[in-house]
Amino acid sequence: MPDIADAVVETVGDRRSLGGVGQSFGAFTAPLVAVRRPVEALALVAGMVPESGESPDRWWSNTGYTEAVRRQAARDGGLTGSDDPYVACYHDVPRELPEEALSKERAHPSSAASAQP
């Protein structure tokens, strides 16, 4: 995680009057960056909000994510937890938006990053 925060801080450079956004896994990185480069606002969008010192790997079990998804899927006919991104993430937007987003998908952080608190 510190390496990811280092890369963001380096990219930001000397800019001032910053706002930060951490989406999903980015909620682990955004606060680390905000401590090093103070921001005027910090927004977490569907963020995996960790407890202090919690790794992304531990977040899943610590939050009860798997059990919550199982219960909700039982209520909604399996929509929650679907492996289909058009069902799980993009169910309420015009099809061309997820098609564009998915065409720009990148590799997820490494297993080493996911193991770091």
Q: Are residues 85 and 49 in the same domain?
A: no
Residues 38, 70, single domain; the answer is no
Residue 83 and residue 42 share a domain:
no
Q: Which domain holds residue 68?
A: 64-105
Residues contacting 32, CB < 8 A, separation 6+? 1, 2, 4, 5
Mean pLDDT by 10 residues, the chain (117 residues): 90 92 92 92 93 91 93 92 89 93 84 86
pTM as predicted: 0.75
* 54 and 22 within one domain: yes
What is the distance between the alpha carbons of residues 114 and 116, in angstroms, rounded to a whole number?
6
